[in-house]
Amino acid sequence: MDIFEDVRKELGCDYISDLRYKQTAAREVLKRMDMNKYPHEQVNDFLAYVWE
């Protein structure tokens, strides 16, 4: 499982870098996802990438 790819696909983005421009939509997707499927470190990396 890759949280970056899963959120990218859910939002219909062509590139992972597009996620930074869809922060509100990404937040809504994350609320619906089972975060236990992903390693804790990967979730932290995702949050840092999108919101920093």
Phi-psi region of 34 (alpha: psi -120 to 50; beta: other; left: phi over 0): beta
Per-residue pLDDT, 46: 98
Per-residue pLDDT, 40: 97
| 13 touches 52 (CB < 8 A) | no
Per-residue pLDDT, 35: 96
For the chain, the structural domain boundaries read: 3-51
pLDDT tens per residue, range 1-35 = 999 999 999 999 999 999 999 999 999 999 999 99
